[in-house]
Amino acid sequence: MTATTERSLPSVAAVCRTRAGVELREFFRQRESVVFTLFFPVILLLVFGAVLDYDLGSGVSFTQYFMAGVIAAGILGASLQNMAIGIATERSDGTLKGLAGTPMPKSAYFVGKVVQVFVVTVAIVVILLAIGAVFYDIDLPSGTGWLTFAWVAALGSAACTLLGIAISSLARNGRSASATVTPVALVLQFISGVFFQFSEVPTWLQTVAAVFPLKWMAQGLRSVFLPDALAAQEPAGSWELGRVALVLAAWCVIGLLLCVRTFRWQDRVDR
Amino acid sequence: MAEQTPPDPDAAISVRGLVKRYGDRNAVDGLDLDIRRGEIFALLGPNGAGKTTTVEVLEGYRQRDGGEVRVLGIDPADGGRSWKAELGIVLQSGAGDSQLTCLELLRAQAAYYPDPRDPAEVLELVGLTEKAGSRGRTLSGGQRRRLDVALGIVGRPRLLFLDEPTTGFDPEARRQFWSLIRSLRDLGTTMLLTTHYLDEAEELADRVGVITRGRLVEVAVPSALGGRGQAPAVVSWSEDGVRRTAETGTPTAFVAELAARFPGEVPDLAVARPTLEDVYLRMIGEPVV
């Protein structure tokens, strides 16, 4: 005999708002995550901007090129790394199990995570663009450039968020997730045209990089920050925006399928 | 028995023939259990006996391999949000680390329930009012456990699961915790408590169940467990410089007899009944077939 009816439960929207508030406070109050996710790309931009300020030809500085890459790397950190490490930690310390025992709608948990990724991503992008514009005289996107910027960032962020959630299920705890994901992310940054021009990466490594979303995010964002003349330096001789959309969308689908198949609310039952 | 009586839908918890396998081992092996609404029931048993597994099946965390289970009239395998809204769960592992303060955590938790308690009142109830603005990591072990209990009760549960709630408490903190549990009982909350501490079970529980090798071997009020109520008393005294003991079903008559033999006080006289610990250790030590 249950006295409570479905009607009197708080609405899913209300619980989503609560979760979003929880997730934002959890992120911004944790010094490690703020430094690691938010300030690391900023430091990279400041250092690379100061050291590698050479001319790529057509009067374009490497900093202008690096802007696209560091934003892509920032999005990767805010979504894939943040989700993989954060959720693995919450799973191993019992936070997820505790939530699964409450009437919180499961969807609200993921909505909270998405809001966290969105706010952190916007914060990173705004900070990076502001520093670029103020200190390094970066040409900001204009007109339809913003539109391309928005869809590349949104699609890339969605794919990496889903992948991060999926990867979290592979790790034993937050620390092991960090130990696995951080080096992989770093290697991907080196071979995906973040720190160096992608055209300088050996062809076989370009092929490896082309499997993963970071390369395509960086390439899509370069189309926004660089003049079309530089598209000739890309592997295909063009920005390939159609393929960028296709690969990132494919990773969204793969990530979603992996999440649905692998997500667990508690550590593996081993007793 | 599983075939004879169906689970009782009016009980807070009703279990018939519960089986849970890990590999080829039956961690829970045909367990029957009924817990009435409003009672505090303590589940005792050694590590690995199947306590936590049983409780986690009841809470909906684990799928069973056999048997019938009703918790507040619902099969936990089908338990939706409305069902969960009537439960409070204090896990053995406790809640995880958080950057939120105690009050913020309770407010968030309260937002998942249809009719929550006031978070500030709950903090008062568990004695954490002065820690309302502190983050979890600054709390002592006992305070953290009280925060876990606060999170478990803020949704105004009708049934509260407490899995080894006082492990790691000092004696003072345990006594405070016991009085918290009694005040919850006065509010009408049914509780299923698992514990290693026999004094805790004796102090709090209306009934005690002993679980060994995945089965409930006995259920009784604490004072009668293992035939403790009828067990012979042990009378001990000193005579001619030697410690003497005798088991007797009539300790009063025996002591009167002793008193007549000695001119004054009987030296070192003591009368003892088996403690809950004595009967418990005997029960779990015996092979159960």
pLDDT at position A102 over 80? yes
Using one digit for the tens of pLDDT, what is the confidence trace for A222-255? Answer: 999 998 888 888 888 899 999 999 999 999 999 9
pTM of the entire predicted model: 0.88
What pLDDT, on the 0 to 100 scale, is given for residue A271?
Answer: 41
What pLDDT, on the 0 to 100 scale, is given for residue A1?
Answer: 45
**Spatial distance between the Cα atoms of B228 and B231, rounded to a whole number of angstroms:** 5
Using one digit for the tens of pLDDT, what is the confidence trace for A45-83? Answer: 999 888 887 887 777 888 999 999 999 999 999 999 999
Chain A residues with CB under 8 Å of B95 CB are 94-95, 98
Residues B173/B142, Cβ–Cβ less than 8 Å = yes
pLDDT at position A3 over 60? no
The domain B13-226 is placed in CATH, from the list 3.30.70.100, 3.40.50.300, 3.40.50.10490, 6.10.140.120, at 3.40.50.300
Q: Which of A31-45, A94-108, A132-146, B216-230 has the lowest average pLDDT?
A: B216-230
Q: Which residues in chain B are classed under CATH 3.40.50.300?
A: 13-226
User: What one-character-per-residue DSSP string does A203-220 give?
Assistant: HHHHHHHTTSHHHHHHHH
In whole numbers, what is the pLDDT of chain B averaged over residues? 88
Q: Which of B87, B93, B114 sits opposite A10 (nearest CB)?
A: B114
For chain B, give the secondary structure using H, E and C.
Answer: CCCCCCCCCCCCEEEEEEEEEECCEEEEEEEEEEECCCCEEEEECCCCCCHHHHHHHHCCCCCCCEEEEEECCECHHHCCHHHHCCEEEECCCCCCCCCCEHHHHHHHHHCCCCCCCCHHHHHHHCCCHHHCCCEHHHCCHHHHHHHHHHHHHCCCCCEEEEECCCCCCCHHHHHHHHHHHHHHHHCCCEEEEECCCHHHHHHHCCEEEEEECCEEEEEECHHHHHHCCCCCEEEEEEECCEEEEEEECCHHHHHHHHHHHCCCCCCCCEEECCCHHHHHHHHHHCCCC
In whole numbers, what is the pLDDT of chain A averaged over residues? 91
Which residues in chain A (193-212) have CB-CB distances under 8 A to chain B? none
Using one digit for the tens of pLDDT, what is the confidence trace for A201-221? Answer: 999 999 999 999 999 999 999
Binned at pLDDT 50, 70 and 90, residue A2 comes out as: very low
Q: What pairing do the DSSP bridges indicate for beta strands B242-248 and B233-239?
A: antiparallel
What pLDDT, on the 0 to 100 scale, is given for residue A174?
Answer: 86
A56: Cβ contacts below 8 Å, ≥ 6 apart = A62, A64, A65, A197, A230
What pLDDT, on the 0 to 100 scale, is given for residue B275?
Answer: 78
What pLDDT, on the 0 to 100 scale, is given for residue B288?
Answer: 40
Interface A:B, Cβ pairs < 8 A: 105
Chain A residues with CB under 8 Å of B48 CB are 271
Q: Which residue positions in chain B have pLDDT lower than 70? A: 1-4, 286-289
Residue B84 to residue A266, Cβ atoms within 8 A = no
Which amino acid, one-letter code, is at B250?
A: T
Q: What pairing do the DSSP bridges indicate for beta strands B25-35 and B13-22?
A: antiparallel
What pLDDT, on the 0 to 100 scale, is given for residue B10?
Answer: 86
Tokens linked to B219: 């259920």
CA distance A51 to chain B (A): 37
pLDDT at position A6 over 50? no
What pLDDT, on the 0 to 100 scale, is given for residue B1?
Answer: 45
pLDDT at position A4 over 80? no
Using one digit for the tens of pLDDT, what is the confidence trace for B24-70? Answer: 889 999 999 999 999 999 999 888 889 999 999 999 999 999 999 99
Residue A25 to residue B104, Cβ atoms within 8 A = yes
